[in-house]
Structures are given as structure tokens and as C-alpha cells.
Structure 1
Amino acid sequence: MKPSFEKFQKRRLISSYFSVVLSIFLVLFLLGILGLFVINSKRLSDNFKEEIAMTVFFKNEANDSVISAFKTQLEAEKFVKSSVYVSKEEAAKNHKDIIGEDFMEFLGMNPLQNSFDIYLNSEYINPEGIRKIESTFRMNEMVSDVVYDKQLVTLVNDNIQKVSMWILIVCGIFGLIAVLLINSSMRLSIYSNRFIIKTMQMVGATKSFIRKPFIWRSIRLGILGSILAIAALAGVLYYLDTNYPDLEIMAEPVLVAAVLGGVLLVGILITWISTFFATTRFLNLRTDDLY
């Protein structure tokens, strides 16, 4: 009978540890995913902004020296990330490939103009900044027009501000959920040992002596759950980096390492703090209240 009871107790203890580690793993994994999204969200939004092109068209009177001088100007400007020169012959060919017909056969001439497709650095892509750049280009007498999608620029900036605000709110909510769930798991684990805690206290053990083994056990469980979460996050990073290289998910390895390290630190801190307060609560209860 006794060995059977001991086996039952052992299985129940293992089951309790497993549920604690599993809850820590799931919460920290989701928290880590959110952290990785946060550190990559700005870069992803910047990449999207930098795909918006500003096209500068030149008058037909603009000769090669004017085009060359403008190209040199672009290379010196801080707000320019990259630029592509599109001659009117190349533009006509592109139109022909898209439309499927040679429109110059009907017109007898090429009405298109030489142009530059200019891609700006993300910090300059806002309504005010891009208007200043447009004004700078229009000061050139050989420039006939400057074209870009004004509505898209406004829409992108407004939406990025809204998304950033919601990301902060979601981060706060997830952080609170992480603390509450892990704290709940640790409290349940300590609750199952409440009689042991009270018995040790009744035979004269100090509070710090009683807390110590429970805190160390919780920290070990927190570390185990954190390591599992880090391993799962590393797997997700490897998968995304291998199958979706355009996302450049590992473009900032220091920040990625900081998130993974933060997952480990959070797992240790929350389990330690939760166990400390849970054991203190049962230490301060009267024996009758344990039931």
C-alpha cells in the first residue's frame, strides 16, 4: 500500500512540475514572439516606406551633362537611399512590355521623358519632409515635374502611428498576462506543499530557511521553461530566416539576442518573486486556515 501511495505522490509531483514548466514555456514563447515582432516592426515599416518612389521628370532640353549633374547631386544628398535613371527609350520599352503594343507606331514619336526613380530614406518619408524634398527638386529649371503618391505617404505614416500605439498596448497586456499566469502556476505549486511549509515552521525552521528550497526549485523550473521557449523561438527564427530571407529577421542580431536573454531573465524573475510571496502567504496563515 505504501509503495503505491508513494508512486501516486511521485506521479502527481511530476505532473505538477510539468504543468508549471509548460505554462512558463507557452507564456514566455508568446512573449518572445511579441518581442521579436516589436524589434522588427520599425525595420519592416521603414522598408515599406523606402519602397515608395519619387519620380523626377526632365524636360526634353535636358542634355547628358544636366542628367549627370543631377545624378551627382542625388549621390550627395542624405535623404536619398538609392536612385534609378530611366531614359525615355527605356521607359517606352517598359510601356510596350506592359501594354503589349508599341504606342510610338501610332504617335510617330516618343512623348515620354527622361526621369529618375528616387527612393528616400525612411525618416524623410512624411508629408512635411517629402514636400521639402519636392520643392528642392523643382528649383532645378530642367525638371518638368515631380511625382509621388501623396495619399500613400499620408496613409502609411498615419497607420504606422496607430499600429505602434496598439503594439505598445498589446505588449503591456501580454506582459501582465505573463506575470499573472506564471504567478498562478507557482501559487498552485506552492499550495500543494502548504502543509509541508507549516510543518517545517512548527518545528522551528525560520521563514528564510523554508523559502529557500521552494525558491530554488521554482527558479530551476523557470530556467527550464525559459530554455524551452528560447529553443522554440530559435526554431522560428531559423525557419523564417531560411524560408523568408526578404524579411531580414536576423538583420539585428544584438536585439534578437537581447529578446532571448530577456525571456530567460523574465522566467527567472517572475518565478522567484511569485514563489517568495506565495510561501510568505502560507507562512503567515494560521494552521486552521490551511484547510
Structure 2
Amino acid sequence: MRSNKKLGSYPGILITVSLTVALFLIGFCGWVALSSKELIRYVKQNIEVQVYLNHDLTQNSIDSLQSIFAALPELETKSAENTISFVSSEKAAEAFLAETNEDYKDILGDNPFRDAFTMKVKEEILSEGQLALFKKKIEAYPGVYEVDYAKDFVNGVTENANKAYLILSAIVLIFLVATILLINNTIKLALYSQRFIIRTMQLVGATNGFVQKPFITKGLIQGFVAGAIAAVLLFITQQLALKQLEGLSLIQNSGLMTVVLLILLILGPLIGVVSTYQSISRYLNVDLDDLY
């Protein structure tokens, strides 16, 4: 029964390398998908709504409106200090002069800018319909002249986000299917060279479980090693990208990245065991004539 432990010229390195490359590609696509999702979320969180006020409002009226707006349930609550801010007409005029180097006083005489509030709303209402309702709600308050936001930009972000999710999800799915097919074929070719050893073990009385055990164990180990290497390579790739690409750290989610790495560690052994089991079962039930 010693032949059970010696699997001949089984190409374990080839299987491990193939599975490592495939898992790395799956993990890389998953990381890109998560980064894209975080990028879109980051952009949405920084979309602002401008609330322009009437010219004749007193400071008490402005303070009262600010208190009312700050309590709105639609406003983002994760960063309360930046949720709502006030920009006076004087500061708006100074900013315009600094950017354009054109003095409005020479043309208009009076300050054409209005006092305004800048708000950050929750991601859940960043759609055309929800923002339209929010705009109508704010404009109903006395003292509010107009509410404005980048409508075309919001719609573009939403549409592109849906397209990006679908495309990246399809790529990950394609890589996953290709990985399973690739590893299945590789293991089948590897076990083809072991078919006579398997039949010899059966002839001397070995049960199917006894024959399968060393191959499945090897598949488990190869899958775990491949998953671990792929996870390490993906982590190194991420760290190198963070050093080379400025601002990339703003759209990284360490929790989701950890999930991706854990998935690789689980997916590797799972593919290795399932593919090995399916392939070896084929040779356990084949007729002797078919082995040739």
C-alpha cells in the first residue's frame, strides 16, 4: 500500500502556479471593482447642494434657517462638522475676484452674489428623483431664493456606477469560470499520468476513499498555497499602487480588502479539492480498456 503515498510524476508545481495566477486575476478584478465602488461613493459623498438666500434676510433669520437645515434627515451625518456650511455674499464675491481677477463693481456696482448654505446630503438620496424632491422641500422655506446642484453630474455618476458594476462583475465571473475550467483540465491531465497507479491500488483492495485521500489532500494543500500566494501578491500590488498613485488611499476600504484576501484563501483550497475529486472519480469508475 506504500504506492498510495507516492504519486509518481504528479505535476503539482504546474497546478499550483496555474491556480495562483488565476486566483490573483480574480482577486485583482475584485479589488478594482471595490476601488471603483469606493471612488463613486467618495464622489457622491462630496456632491454638494447650494441653497441661495434672499438678499433682505437678517442674521437671526439666517441662523434660524441654519438650525432648521442642520436637523434635516437628508443631510449626511458621518461628518457632522462638514455637513452644512455658510458662505456670505462678501466671501463669494472675494472668491470670484480671486479666481477671475475681474471686479464686479466696475460693471454692476452692487454685489450680485447671495448668502448661501452648502449642504452634503446622504448617498441614498443622490438620484434625480430624490434630489428633485429635496430641492422642492428646501425651496418651500421662507427666505430661500433657490436651490441648485450639479444635476447632470449626479445623473452621470449614477449611470456610470451601474455600468461599472455590471462590467466588473461580468469580468470577475468570467475569470472565475475560466479558472475552474483551467484547473479542472490541468488536474485531469495530471491524473491521466496516474491512472494506472489508481487502478493498481484498486486491484490490491484499496477502497475509493483510500485512493482519493492522497490526491484530495494534495489538491487541498496546493489550493491553499496558491490562495495564500495570490493573496500576498494582491496585497503587495495594492501597497505598491498606494505608493505610486496619489489619492488612491482615499478610496480604499481595508475591511472589504480583507474580505477579498480571505475569499482567495478559501477559494483556492475549494477549487483544488472539488476539481481533484471530480477528476479522480472519473478514473475510479472507468473500464480497464478505457485506461489505454
Q: TM-score with structure 2 length normalisation?
A: 0.87
1:1-291 pair list within 5 angstroms: 16-81=11-76, 82-243=83-244, 244-253=246-255, 255-291=256-292
User: SS of the residue aligned with 1:117?
Assistant: strand
- Deviation by residue 1:181-224 (Cα, 9 ceiling, x = unmatched): 22222222212222211222222222111111111111111111
CA contact (8 A) 1:53 1:117 kept: yes
Whole-Å separation in 2 of the counterparts to 1:37 and 1:74: 37
Whole-Å separation in 1 of the counterparts to 2:161 and 2:247: 23
Partner AA of 2:270 in structure 1: L
Unpaired runs of at least 5, structure 2: 1-6, 77-82
Whole-Å separation in 2 of the counterparts to 1:189 and 1:65: 81
Whole-Å separation in 1 of the counterparts to 2:97 and 2:248: 30
Whole-Å separation in 2 of the counterparts to 1:204 and 1:222: 29
Partner AA of 2:45 in structure 1: E
CA contact (8 A) 1:44 1:247 kept: no
Partner AA of 1:171 in structure 2: V
1:69 to 1:239, Cα distance in 2 relative to 1, 3 A: farther
Whole-Å separation in 2 of the counterparts to 1:106 and 1:288: 98
Whole-Å separation in 1 of the counterparts to 2:190 and 2:250: 41
Whole-Å separation in 2 of the counterparts to 1:37 and 1:164: 10
Whole-Å separation in 1 of the counterparts to 2:202 and 2:250: 56
CA contact (8 A) 2:48 2:121 kept: yes
User: SS of the residue aligned with 1:107?
Assistant: coil
After TM superposition, the structure 1 stretch with the greater mean CA deviation from structure 2, 213-222 or 236-245, is 236-245
1:44 to 1:69, Cα distance in 2 relative to 1, 3 A: same
Q: What's the offset of the Cα at 1:274?
A: 0.8
Q: What's the offset of the Cα at 1:247?
A: 3.9
Q: What's the offset of the Cα at 1:55?
A: 1.1
Q: What's the offset of the Cα at 1:112?
A: 0.9
User: SS of the residue aligned with 2:269?
Assistant: helix
Whole-Å separation in 1 of the counterparts to 2:285 and 2:96: 81
Q: What's the offset of the Cα at 1:245?
A: 4.9
Q: What's the offset of the Cα at 1:287?
A: 2.6
User: SS of the residue aligned with 2:107?
Assistant: helix
Partner AA of 1:28 in structure 2: L
Q: What's the offset of the Cα at 1:129?
A: 0.9
Whole-Å separation in 1 of the counterparts to 2:62 and 2:157: 31
Partner AA of 1:63 in structure 2: T
After TM superposition, the structure 1 stretch with the greater mean CA deviation from structure 2, 179-188 or 238-247, is 238-247
Alignment match, 2:79: none
Q: What's the offset of the Cα at 1:144?
A: 1.2
- Deviation by residue 1:158-179 (Cα, 9 ceiling, x = unmatched): 2322332333333322221121
User: SS of the residue aligned with 1:163?
Assistant: helix
Alignment match, 2:3: none
User: SS of the residue aligned with 1:56?
Assistant: strand
Whole-Å separation in 1 of the counterparts to 2:232 and 2:74: 40
CA contact (8 A) 1:86 1:115 kept: yes
User: SS of the residue aligned with 1:101?
Assistant: coil
RMSD: 2.2
Alignment match, 2:4: none
CA contact (8 A) 1:241 1:250 kept: no
Counting aligned pairs with the same residue, the percent is: 29
CA contact (8 A) 2:27 2:234 kept: yes
Whole-Å separation in 1 of the counterparts to 2:182 and 2:119: 50
